[in-house]
Structures are given as C-alpha cells and as structure tokens.
Amino acid sequence: MTEEAEAALAARLTPPWSVQPERVERGRLDGLLGRDAVHGGIALLADPLATPPLAQALERPGPLLVLDQVTDPRNVGAILRSAAAFGAAAVIVQDRNAPEETGALAKAASGALESLPLLRAVNVARTLIALKAASVWVVGLDAGAAQPLSGLALAGRRIALVLGAEHEGLRRLTRETCDELSKLEMPGGMNSLNVSAAATVALYEIGRRNE
C-alpha cells in the first residue's frame, strides 16, 4: 500500500493488522493491477472465491445470462451490473474465452461481482443442455431472428438469455442448442447494440411479463 493509503486505513482500523503491509509507490500498484483498476492505493493478494456449481446457482431466483465468448472485461462487468440490478440468478461465461475478474471488470460491474455468481463453463452448449434439463427456457439473442423478444410471451417460464460475442454473435452450435432465437425490437434503424446494452434491454423486457 501507499503511504497515503496506509494513513487512511490506520484512521479507520487501528494497527497492528493481521497482515503486515509493504509500502510502495502508487506507480508500483498501477503496474501490478493496471491503470484501469480502482485500487485506492491498496492491493491484497488473495485466493479467488470458489465458483458455485450450476445447481447451486439455480437455487437463486431470477433469469440467467449465458455469454458465448464475450471477451471484453468492461462488457462483462456492465452485464454483471445490469444482471444484479434486474434480479438475475447468475451470469455464466465460457471458461477459456472470457476475461478474468480483473480491476477493469470489477470497476464496470460496480459491486455486482461481489453479489452475483459468475460461473465458468467449459462447454457452453452442454451448459445450455443442463439448463434445459432443469426446466429453463433458453433464448438466444440474435439480430437476424424472425421474432422479437417478448417478456409477456415468456410469462410462466424461467429464462436463460444467451448473448454472443461482440462482433461474431452466437456460434452455430450455441444457436442450435437454444430453444428459440429472438431479436430486440429496434424501430430506429439500428440493427444491433453493444452486447452489454442488449443484455440490459433484454432483462428489462423479460421483467415486463409480470406487468
């Protein structure tokens, strides 16, 4: 931690502390964590939290979001934030083609990373099959789909929303595994949105089924 951060922490939590800090310049922390990280002059090396199994995530109420190779940490963080705001149960990403829980991701998530499970799946298609076996209706968002997403039409079903990569969209096997494909109704002339914006609109639309 920096000298300033050490003084600020000491004012709130009287030393001695159980972990003895190493005092460094702020540039050292920027180098370790990246300039996008909001570190406040303090960094702690800790073991990652254990990822809950899918069955445990399904015990939570709300829809689920499945991200098919969404790689931008800011997009994943923003999706986590929207998912937490709209009462989603969990966000599921592909293990090998998704960003780590970095400072940039945590900053975009605005606290959602600490309150919403982020699951990592080795195989997205197999995860969708497992969700379907648990009576979850799997809806893939695709700009080329014939029908618009309708929360009212999905009333009475638990939903998993599947969103594809920023440029490529849903992969073929992912598309084929979904129960249905839907698009967002956009009368303004644009045919697509940023994936995090699309997730927010879709979560809002699903919430309308209770109106």
pTM listed for this prediction: 0.85
pLDDT at 120: 94
Residues forming beta bridges with residue 164, ordered by sequence position:
68
pLDDT at 210: 55
pLDDT at 46: 82
pLDDT at 166: 78
Cβ neighbours around 144 below 10 Å, total: 11
Question: Which of 109, 125, 113 lies closest to 77 in space, CA to CA?
Answer: 109
pLDDT at 51: 83
pLDDT at 33: 83
How far apart are the C-alpha atoms of 91 and 67, rounded to whole Å? 8
- Mark 169-183 as b/e (b = at least 16 C-beta within 10 Å): bbbeebbebbbebbb
Spans of all domains in the chain: 1-46, 54-210
Residues forming beta bridges with residue 204, ordered by sequence position:
none
Q: What is 54-210's CATH superfamily?
A: SPOUT methyltransferase, trefoil knot domain (3.40.1280.10)
Split the chain (211 residues) into runs of 10 and give each run's mean pLDDT. 95 92 92 79 84 93 96 94 96 90 85 92 96 97 92 93 90 96 86 89 86 51
